[in-house]
Structure 1
Amino acid sequence: MTDRKAELAANLARVEERIAAACASAGRKRAEVTLVVVTKTYPASDVRLLHGLGVRQVAENRDQDAAPKAAASADLDLTWHFVGQLQTNKVRSVVGYADVVQSVDRPKLVTSLSSAAVRAGRELSCLVQVALDAESGRQGERGGIAPDGVAELAAAIEEAPGLRVGGLMTVAPLAGPYAGRQRAAFDRLMDLSTALRETHPAANMVSAGMSADLEEAVAAGATHVRVGTAVLGVRPRLG
Structure 2
Amino acid sequence: MTAGGAAPRERTAELAEALAAVRARIAAACAAAGRDEREITLIAVTKTFPASDVRLLAGLGLTEVGENRDQEARPKAAECADLPLTWHFVGRLQTNKARAVAGYADVVHSVDRSRLVSALSDAAVRGGRTLRCLVQVSLDEEEAAQGRGGAAPDAVPGLADEIAGAPGLRLGGVMAVAPLGADPVPAFTRLARIATEIRRNHPDARIVSAGMSGDLEQAIACGATHLRVGTALLGGRRAIVR
Q: Check the 8 A contact 1:134/1:145 in 2, yes or no.
A: no
Q: Check the 8 A contact 1:117/1:124 in 2, yes or no.
A: yes
**What is aligned with 1:185?**
187
Post-superposition offset of 1:159: 1.2
Post-superposition offset of 1:208: 0.2
Report the Cα distance in structure 1 between the residues aligned to 2:19 and 2:224, rounded to whole angstroms: 19
**What is aligned with 1:50?**
57
Post-superposition offset of 1:222: 0.3
Structure 1: runs of 5 or more not aligned: none
Q: Check the 8 A contact 2:49/2:239 in 1, yes or no.
A: no
TM-score by length of 2: 0.93
Q: Structure 2 residue aligned with 1:24, among 13, 31, 34?
A: 31
Q: Structure 1 residue aligned with 2:150, among 144, 149, 174?
A: 144
TM-score by length of 1: 0.94
Q: Which amino acid aligns with 2:199?
A: R
Report the Cα distance in structure 2 between the residues aligned to 1:59 and 1:29, rounded to whole angstroms: 23
Q: Structure 2 residue aligned with 1:205, among 204, 207, 213?
A: 207
Q: Structure 1 residue aligned with 2:88, among 62, 81, 88?
A: 81
Structure 2: runs of 5 or more not aligned: 1-7
Q: Which amino acid aligns with 1:32?
A: E
Q: Check the 8 A contact 1:139/1:146 in 2, yes or no.
A: no
Q: Which amino acid aligns with 2:42?
A: L
Q: Check the 8 A contact 1:56/1:77 in 2, yes or no.
A: yes
Q: Which has the higher contact order (CA 8 A, sep 6+)?
A: 2
Report the Cα distance in structure 1 between the residues aligned to 2:184 and 2:207, rounded to whole angstroms: 18
Q: Structure 2 residue aligned with 1:3, among 3, 10, 14?
A: 10
Report the Cα distance in structure 2 between the residues aligned to 1:18 and 1:109, rounded to whole angstroms: 35
- After superposing on structure 2, the runs of 4+ consecutive aligned residues of structure 1 that deviate more than 4 Å are none
The number of aligned residues is 232
SS of equivalent residue, structure 2 residue 232 = helix
Report the Cα distance in structure 2 between the residues aligned to 1:134 and 1:74, rounded to whole angstroms: 39
SS of equivalent residue, structure 2 residue 175 = strand
Q: Which amino acid aligns with 1:151?
A: P
**What is aligned with 1:67?**
74
Give the percent of matched residue pairs that are identical in Structure 1 and Structure 2: 63
SS of equivalent residue, structure 1 residue 2 = helix
**Could you give the per-residue CA deviations for residues 200-221 of structure 1, whole angstroms, max 9, x where no partner exists?**
0000000000000000000001
Post-superposition offset of 1:164: 1.1
Post-superposition offset of 1:133: 1.3
